[in-house]
Amino acid sequence: LNRIIPRLIKDNKLGVYKKADFVLNFWVVHEVSDKKSFFTQIYNSLKPEGQYLIAEPNMHTSKKYFDELEKLCITTGFKVKGRPKVTISRALLLVKK
């Protein structure tokens, strides 16, 4: 339990000051208004080679939308590590370059 630190974002700031090995966003990115800023903050919160898993619900996100998210993550600096299967979701595993 002491290894998982949930965060409630306020004023579009993550408020993360310790570097993380892994970040998970499960069914939340489609709710974020400024995705570029969000992804940049996540990128900056990760340790070198840190991993980031995004899972978005199929019922709220199209393939085209998810492909655009992937492109935005790549322009932020992430590298695609994989596309894991997550039930009724589109998922992307990224790594900090």
pTM value? 0.88
Q: What is the pLDDT of residues 24-60, one digit of tens each?
A: 999 999 999 999 999 999 999 999 999 999 999 999 8
Q: What is the pLDDT of residues 62-75, one digit of tens each?
A: 999 999 999 999 99
For residues 23 and 25, give the distance between their C-alpha atoms in angstroms, rounded to a whole number.
Answer: 7
Q: Does residue 88 register a pLDDT over 70? A: yes
Please count the CA atoms within 13 angstroms of the CA of 2 that sit on its side-chain side: 0
Q: Average model confidence (pLDDT) for the chain?
A: 91
